[in-house]
Structure 1
Amino acid sequence: MKLGCILFALSFSLVSAAFAKPLRIPDSSSADKLPITLIKEFVARSDQFDSVTFIYGSSGDVAFSKTVADLENRALDVLWTATTTDYENNMQAIYIPIYRGLLGMRIPIVEQSNLNLFRDVKQFDALKKFIPCQGKLWADTKVLEANQILVAKSVKYPNLFDMLEGERCEYFPRAVFEPWAEIERMSHFNLAVEPNILLRYTMPMFFFVHKKDAALARHMNSVFGDMVEDGTFNRLFFADGQVKSALAKSKLGQRRLFELDNPYLSKSVQNIPKHYWFDLLKEQ
């Protein structure tokens, strides 16, 4: 009887392995990003997938609209992006925030000459006198405007740096892990990271699967849920080079915090357990 159980278990695992397949994702194989690290850990724990395939080859540099279309057409299994209610309505979100909320923690890029632009700003009404620049279609822009902040907008991301230097806006709020690399890439501009303030609003980045792929959604929720509970998710989060560098450089605990409301959150986002989010007081 015992031998029969062993043989059955062995045959079941062999059948599962035989039907395992690559998980198709965007981005590139050379990318060193937390989402890819988490996806690889997911695949290592999965009995349904045995590897990762980067469907756009080595560059991974395609328009996000194509990525969404490829998910809809089942040419792609998973994508990741900052959430919106439209995305959650049209795709199936895995409601575990990839960056644990760091995407909604914003520090300003400013001109070097404006390094202490917010040194004496201590009230939100005073902050609203300064004009940020953002992408015209970005979810962040809607959040800032919902908080009565006048925003200078551009459809094209590179133009935002021209706008900053041309004084059409006074600061460019970026997620805490973004500004240093951007300043280095845009080194022909005289830019710096402003050291005094932190804007915070709920803006999670999620993995998304096809709206009708309930089986994959359940599988990912199960595996990632286990990773959160056994500590693996946080270990990979803090080990990520981008996150580690951002937390060291940004000095979040020393900044003046301005809390902004995000009125566009779904009920599902609002119900995410508290321990899934980065705790600014306990973990910094």
Structure 2
Amino acid sequence: MQKIVKINILSPFLLFFASAFSAVAVQACFQRPGFDIPTLITPLNFHTEDRVYAYHADLLQMVLKKTEEEYGPCKLIVIETNKPLNRIHLYIDGGQLFDTVDSTVNPSRDQKLLPIRFPIYRGFMGYRVMIIREGDQARFNGINSLETMRSITIGAGMNWYDRKLVQQQNIPTVTGDDLGALYRMLPVGRFDAILRGVHEVKIDELRVKASGHSLEKNLVLAYPLPVNFYVRKSHHLLAERLRSGLEKGLADGSFQTFFYQHPLIKETLKRAKLEKRKFLYLCNPTLSPDSPLEKPKYWYKAWPDSVVQCSRHTTSDDAI
């Protein structure tokens, strides 16, 4: 079990921790006061009692172990925090507190931080399922195309890519301040559904603990939305270590084994029943050209050629 430190969003200890643990890069991890070996710090945005679902942290642990012979020992430290993701990115960019975080790919993020081009959830973030009001499934049984989706209203965060995507398809949207607000707005009828990455359904339960909703059973709105590990721009050796460990795991099959055996993925597959759902595919023209869309080995399910082509060559609003 990794060492876990709790930090409250308003705690002054956070700033002390950030400065006191200023680090020197050693062997692609960081030597910090009080530790006898280099360390790597990553955030956890739900409570430690649910630590079993911390997929990204467990994957980092596997990667560090697979690269220990080449890069040396490294202790993973997982910090429980309710800091918003944009603040965590600022800490990483400034070389403070956190060393790496898992985040969805977008052009702005790619400019500020250094991405490791490996889709760690194998495409699950782009498998958007709908959270609907409890008891509303019968209404959604007749929704099986983009055209019929225009009869419902989607709730989304202001900066969610989903919001732009569904608006481009002329699907009505309502904006909420944050995830908790969206889950409160759904049962009272402010909109009809929230789109979430298929694995986020469980994470939302851990973070929000809302009621009055259920998982829609029939559809996936699918588009390429990889989740990569990100590090500070200047931390090239760390990026090389993470990339090396992920690629080694993919090559020897240990990454695939890890994926299917992880509690978060096992519960996701059991609940979502992806094999029984209809996939409606959309483009994501904002993807970096070096995202490995054409290589099925990186993904849970190979992307159709039409999605690969339109995501590579499209700069406007397109759907498949």
TM-score range for the pair, normalised by the shorter chain length: 0.7 to 0.9
For 1:93, what is the secondary structure of its paired residue?
strand
Measured in 1, the distance between the counterparts of 2:216 and 2:112 equals 37
Q: Which amino acid is the alignment partner of residue 68 of structure 1?
A: H
CA distance in 1, matches of 2:245, 2:200: 28
- Bigger drift between 250-259 and 43-52 goes to 43-52
Letter in 1 for 2:92: L
Normalising by structure 1, report the TM-score: 0.84
Matches of residues 106-185 of structure 1 in structure 2 within 5 Å? 106-180=128-202, 182=204
Secondary structure of the corresponding residue to residue 37 of structure 1:
helix
CA distance in structure 2 between the aligned counterparts of 1:49 and 1:208, rounded to whole angstroms: 20
**Contact residue 162 and residue 195 of structure 2 kept, 8 A:** no
Mark the CA change 1:225 to 1:110 in structure 2 (over 3 Å): closer, same or farther: same
* Greater RCO, 1 or 2 (C-alpha within 8 Å, sep 6+): 1
1:261 aligns with one of 266, 278, 283: 283
For residue 280 of structure 1, report the CA deviation from its aligned partner. Answer: 7.2
Instruction: Indicate whether 1:27 and 2:51 are aligned.
Output: no
Distance 1:92 1:130 in 2: 38
Instruction: Give the 3-state SS of the residue equivalent to 1:267 in structure 2.
Output: coil
Q: Contact 2:41–2:99 at 8 Å: present in 1 too? A: yes
Q: Which has the larger radius of gyration?
A: 1
Alignment of 1:242-261 (within 5 A): 242-261=264-283
Long gaps (5+) in structure 1: 1-14
Unaligned runs of 5+ in 2: 1-25, 32-36, 304-320
1:45-56 pair list within 5 angstroms: 45=66, 46=68, 47-54=71-78, 56=79
1:70 partnered with 2:91: yes
Distance in 2 (CA, whole Å) between partners of 1:280 and 1:241 is 23
Change (3 A) 1:99 1:136: same
TM-score, normalization: structure 2? 0.75
Question: Which position in structure 1 is the counterpart of 2:60?
Answer: 39
Shift of 1:181: 5.7
Q: 1:268 to 1:259 in 2, by over 3 A?
A: same
In structure 2, the partner of 1:199 is: 221
Paired residues in the alignment total 263
SS of 1:233's equivalent in the other structure is helix
Q: Name the % identity.
A: 21
After the TM superposition, list the runs of 4 or more consecutive aligned residues in structure 1 that deviate by more than 3 angstroms: 180-189
